[in-house]
Structure 1
Amino acid sequence: MAAAVNNMCTDCVLSSSRNLSDALSFHSKAITTTRSRTTRRGCSVSHQKQRFSIRSMRISHDNHAPKISLFEESLSSIFELPNGQCTPGKGVVGPNARRKTKIVCTIGPSTSSREMIWKLAEEGMNVARLNMSHGDHASHQKTIDLVKEYNSQFEDKAVAIMLDTKGPEVRSGDVPQPIILKEGQEFNFTIKRGVSTEDTVSVNYDDFVNDVEVGDILLVDGGMMSLAVKSKTKDLVKCIVVDGGELKSRRHLNVRGKSANLPSITDKDWEDIKFGVDNQVDFYAVSFVKDAKVVHELEDYLKSCNADIHVIVKIESADSIPNLHSIISASDGAMVARGDLGAELPIEDVPLLQEDIIRRCRSMQKPVIVATNMLESMIDHPTPTRAEVSDIAIAVREGADAVMLSGETAHGKFPLKAVKVMHTVALRTESSLPVSITPPTQFSAHKSHMGDMFAFHSTTMANTLNTPIIVFTRTGSMAVILSHYRPSSTIFAFTNQKTLPHAILVWAYDKNLVTKGEFVTLVQSGAQPIWRQESTHHIQVRKVQG
C-alpha cells in the first residue's frame, strides 16, 4: 500500500484531476448529510470528481445495536484504561509513528545555506521563521527562495514560511565594546542618539523618558540584567544596577509591568509586510499586539492585496493580557512569546499565562505556538538540560500545536541536534497522551455549527475505530477544524489548492502512511464538494485493499 499512497498522497498538493481508483479500493459504509458552509477565506477552483472502487462493509446487528465487523488486528493497538480513555501503543513510539506537534525554526547565520535548510527540513522543520528584527530583505529573500526550491523539489513535503515582524521594540544603542554593569553601579539611558560611554548609552525611543517613572524596574535583554530608575531629566533616565551583566549593542529594553506607547505595527513593519505579500509567505507573526484593532487593520490590508496570509498574534506585552479573548478571536492563531512576556510581567506568571493562552486558543479552535528559550542551552551545548526537555513535554501535553526554536537554529552551534531533540521529545510525549474516544467537552459550544458538529462526530468515529482520517478540502477549513478535536491518528488533507499545504500548521500532512488491510475514515465537508458531488457533508469508513 505504501507505494500506492506515494503515488496519490503528498504533503503539499493532490491535484483533483488525478484518478484515485487505480490507487485504492475499499470496503465502505457511507453516512451522509447535506448542508453548505462557507469559510473565512473561501475560494473556488475547477475540479474533477474523484472515483473509488467501493464494496460494502458488512454490518451485523445484535440486540438491535449495530456493530461494524472489523478485523481484530485493526483495533489491536487500542488499550482501554479504567477511566474510559484509551492510549495508542501504551506510550511506545512505533516505527511508523508521526509527530503531530509542528516545529518552527528561525533561520539565521547558522542555517541560511541551502544545505542547512535541506537538513533542517529532513530533521523535522515544518515552518521556516524569518525574524525581521535581524537581517535585510536581501538575506530574507534568499531564505524564501531556498525554502520554495525545497518545496518544489520534494512535492511530498511542505515547509511553510513565517515572517515575524520586529514590532515597536525599545532597544539600547550601539556600543563599541560590551559594557560591564555591576550591582550598585549608576548607569544612565539617554534619548540622544549616538551616545555610548562607560556610564551612559542611548535608546531608540524618543518618549522613553516620559514612559518610565521613578521606581520602575528596567529589564535588559529579556531580564538578563535589571536596573532601578532613581531619577530622570528631560532627556536622561538615571538608574542603579540591580542585577549586573554584559551590555552589548542593540539590547531589548522593557519596563516591568508596562508597554511602550508605540503602535504595534511600525513603518518598518509595513515595509516588511509588503515584502511578505510580494513573496506570498504563509504566516505573519505580529509582535506586541495590544488589541484586536491591530489585527483587523492588518487583515483589511491583506484583503486589499488579495493575499491569503494567516495572522499569528504574539502575546508578549502586559497590555495584551486584558484583551486576550478579542485578540485571539480576531486572529488566525497565537504565539506565546515567553521572553518579552516574562520581562513585562512577573516571571512566575509566565507558566500560568502559557497554560491559559493554550486553553483559550484550543477553545476557540485557533492554532497556538509556544516559543522562546525552549532549548536555549543548545545554542552552545550539544545536549539540552533536563528542564528544557520537560518544557517541551509540558507544552505538548498542554495542547500546543507547534513549538519554536529561535537562537538555537538562527545562530546556535548545534541547530540540527536542537531540531532532532525537539522532534524526539514531542513524538515521545504524544505517544503517552491519553486519548478519549469522544473529543474534549470544551469544544461543545462550537457544535451548534454544522462543520464543527461534523468534525466532532468524524473524530469520534475515527477514535472509536482507531483509523486515520482522510479529508477532502478546498479551503483547508475542515482539516483545521478536525485538528482541533485532536483525533488520536493522523489527518491526511487532500486539496487542489497549492497554497493550503503550507498554511496548515496543525495536525496534518504526512506521507506514507496507510497499509493494506487498514481502515480509514474519509471526510468531506463544504459547499463545493471535491470528491462526492451529491453531498456536501460526508463520512465513510473504508478498508484499504492495496
Structure 2
Amino acid sequence: MAATIHLSSTASSLFNNINLTSSNSISQKQLPFHSKPPPSKRSSTLTIAQLTSPPPLGNDYYNNSSLLYGIGRTVEGSDERTKTKIVCTIGPSTSSRDMIWKLADMGMNVARLNMSHGDHTSHQKTIDFVKQYNSQFQDRVISIMLDTKGPEVRSGDVPQPILLKEGQTFNFTNNRGVCTQDTVSVNYDDFVNDVEDGDVLLVDGGMMSLVVKSKTKDLVKCEVIDGGELKSRRHLNVRGKSATLPSITEKDWEDIKFGVDNQVDFYAVSFVKDARVACGSIWFIQYQIFIPYFQLQMGLVPHRSDQAMVARGDLGAELPIEEVPLLQEDIIRRCRRMQKPVIVATNMLESMIIHPTPTRAEVSDIAIAVRQGADAVMLSGETAHG
C-alpha cells in the first residue's frame, strides 16, 4: 500500500516539475482547464455529439461549487494551477476508503472503474468512497470514469501462472473452464472460427505471442513464439484482425446504466472500431466519452466523441510497436486541433508496480506526453494492484 501512495505522489511530482500547463486548444483560448465554461459551453450537453440541450441533472448542476469541465474538477476560484491530470485505476490495492482518500490527497484527479474486473457491488463501494471524499473536502473534487469491458477476448482463469516457453505447443479451447498445463479456455465461442492457420496470437498486449498451427471444431493449436507467464483472464488479440463482436456488448450497456444511475462523470468506450459506434451511443450516454484508438479512423472518431484516449497497449497489439510513439503524437495533435482533451494510457509507471521509484525512461515518457499536449495520463496496474 505504501508503494502505491508513493507512486501517486511520484506521478504528481513529475507533472509539477515538468512545469508545463495543459497545452490543448482550450487553454490557448485563455479558458482555464478547471474554470467555469462560458454560457454557450455551459448550455451544451456533454454527450458524444455535443447535443444542444443540457443533461437531465437539474438546475443545481451548473450552479454547484464543483463544475464538471475537462478531466478532473476543482472548485471555481481555487488557486490550483492548470496541469496535466492523473487518472488512477482503482483495484484490489486501492479499493479501501483510506487508500482512495490517500490517492486523492497525493494528486489523483480521476478514479477509474475498470469494468473488466470486479462487479457492481465492489464498484459501488468505490463510487461511494469517492463521493464521501468530495462531500467532505470542498476544495478538491475527484471525478469518476467508468471504463467498459468492450468486446474483449480473454483467456480463462488459471490457479497458478502457466510458463510458456519458445517452441512449446499450447492450445486454446472454446470449452469453458478448461485449464491444464497445455490448454486453457477462452471466453469467446467463435474464437475458433475467427482464426486461421498462420495467424499470430498476441497475449496480454503483445507480452507473449503464438502462431496458429491448426484447429479443430473447438480447439486452436499454437506454437509459442515469445514466451512468458500466462495468468488469469489475459487479453487475446489476433494481429491484423478483430473479433466479430459488437463494439458495445450487453454487459457494457448494463455497466453504462449502472454508471448513469450513479451519476458517473466519464465513460471510456473500449475497442472502438469506427465513428459509427460513437454515434450509436449518443442517445444513451449523457456525459463525456473517451475513445481508445486501435484502428485508424482518426479523422472521424474524435469528431464524434468529447475526448479521446491513446490506449497504447491496444495500439501496440494491433500495430508494430515502433509505430506507437508516432501514432501517439499524431492522435494528440489531431485532438488539440479539434479542441478535444486527450488521455495517454498504458505503461506510464509500470516498474512502480514492484519498485519504489520509476525508471529514467518512464520519466522521459511522461515528459514527452505532457510536452506533446496530453491533458492527462492514466495509471492502470500501477495503482490497481501495485
* 1:162 maps onto 2:141 in alignment: no
Deviation at 1:405, TM superposition (A): 0.6
d(CA) in 2 for partners of 1:157, 1:203? 43
* 1:313 maps onto 2:291 in alignment: yes
Q: Corresponding residue for 1:466? A: none
Aligned equivalent of 1:213, options 180, 189, 196: 196
**CA shift digits 1:153-176 (9 cap, x unpaired):** 111211100000011110111223
Deviation at 1:98, TM superposition (A): 3.3
Deviation at 1:216, TM superposition (A): 1.3
**CA shift digits 1:219-244 (9 cap, x unpaired):** 11111211111122222211111111
d(CA) in 2 for partners of 1:37, 1:136? 34
Deviation at 1:103, TM superposition (A): 0.7
Kindly tell me: are residues 363 and 196 of structure 1, through their superposed partners in 2, closer, same or farther at Cα, counting changes over 3 Å?
same
* 1:110 maps onto 2:88 in alignment: no
d(CA) in 1 for partners of 2:197, 2:280? 35
Aligned equivalent of 1:258, options 224, 241, 244: 241
TM-score for the superposition, normalised by structure 2: 0.80
Instruction: Return the index of the structure with the highest Cα Rg.
Output: 1
Instruction: Judge conservation of contact 2:192–2:220 (CA < 8 Å) in 1.
Output: yes
d(CA) in 1 for partners of 2:156, 2:40? 59
Q: Corresponding residue for 2:362? A: 388
**CA shift digits 1:78-106 (9 cap, x unpaired):** xxxxxxxxxxxxxxxxxx88351111011
TM-score for the superposition, normalised by structure 1: 0.57
**CA shift digits 1:486-534 (9 cap, x unpaired):** xxxxxxxxxxxxxxxxxxxxxxxxxxxxxxxxxxxxxxxxxxxxxxxxx
After the TM superposition, which residues 477-516 of structure 1 pair with which residues of structure 2 at under 5 Å, given as runs? none
d(CA) in 1 for partners of 2:343, 2:35? 24
Instruction: Judge conservation of contact 2:34–2:82 (CA < 8 Å) in 1.
Output: no
Q: Point out the more displaced range, 109-118 or 370-379.
A: 109-118
1:380 aligned partner, one-letter code? I
Deviation at 1:35, TM superposition (A): 9.8
- Secondary structure in 2 aligned to 1:343? helix
Q: Corresponding residue for 1:409? A: 383
d(CA) in 1 for partners of 2:292, 2:131? 25
Kindly tell me: are residues 334 and 181 of structure 1, through their superposed partners in 2, closer, same or farther at Cα, counting changes over 3 Å?
same
Kindly tell me: are residues 196 and 13 of structure 1, through their superposed partners in 2, closer, same or farther at Cα, counting changes over 3 Å?
same
- Secondary structure in 2 aligned to 1:275? helix
**CA shift digits 1:407-465 (9 cap, x unpaired):** 111111xxxxxxxxxxxxxxxxxxxxxxxxxxxxxxxxxxxxxxxxxxxxxxxxxxxxx
Deviation at 1:42, TM superposition (A): 4.1
After the TM superposition, which residues 138-157 of structure 1 pair with which residues of structure 2 at under 5 Å, given as runs? 138-157=121-140
**CA shift digits 1:367-426 (9 cap, x unpaired):** 1000000000000100000000011000001000101111111111xxxxxxxxxxxxxx
d(CA) in 1 for partners of 2:384, 2:43? 39
Q: Corresponding residue for 1:377? A: 351
1:333 aligned partner, one-letter code? Q
Q: Aligned Cα RMSD in Å?
A: 2.3
Deviation at 1:197, TM superposition (A): 1.8
Kindly tell me: are residues 37 and 269 of structure 1, through their superposed partners in 2, closer, same or farther at Cα, counting changes over 3 Å?
closer
Kindly tell me: are residues 408 and 37 of structure 1, through their superposed partners in 2, closer, same or farther at Cα, counting changes over 3 Å?
closer
Deviation at 1:149, TM superposition (A): 1.0
d(CA) in 2 for partners of 1:385, 1:156? 33
Instruction: Judge conservation of contact 1:12–1:155 (CA < 8 Å) in 2.
Output: no
Kindly tell me: are residues 195 and 103 of structure 1, through their superposed partners in 2, closer, same or farther at Cα, counting changes over 3 Å?
same
Instruction: Judge conservation of contact 2:93–2:383 (CA < 8 Å) in 1.
Output: yes
d(CA) in 1 for partners of 2:284, 2:253? 10
Deviation at 1:177, TM superposition (A): 2.3
2:357 aligned partner, one-letter code? T
d(CA) in 2 for partners of 1:329, 1:125? 28
Structure 1 runs (4+) greater than 3 angstroms displaced: 11-14, 34-47, 96-99
- Secondary structure in 2 aligned to 1:119? helix
Q: Corresponding residue for 2:27? A: none
State, as a whole percentage, how many aligned pairs show the same letter: 76
Deviation at 1:130, TM superposition (A): 0.5
Unaligned runs of 5+ in 1: 1-10, 15-33, 48-95, 303-307, 413-546
Kindly tell me: are residues 201 and 106 of structure 1, through their superposed partners in 2, closer, same or farther at Cα, counting changes over 3 Å?
same
After the TM superposition, which residues 281-320 of structure 1 pair with which residues of structure 2 at under 5 Å, given as runs? 281-302=264-285, 308-315=286-293, 317=294, 320=295
Instruction: Judge conservation of contact 1:111–1:117 (CA < 8 Å) in 2.
Output: yes
Instruction: Judge conservation of contact 2:161–2:231 (CA < 8 Å) in 1.
Output: yes
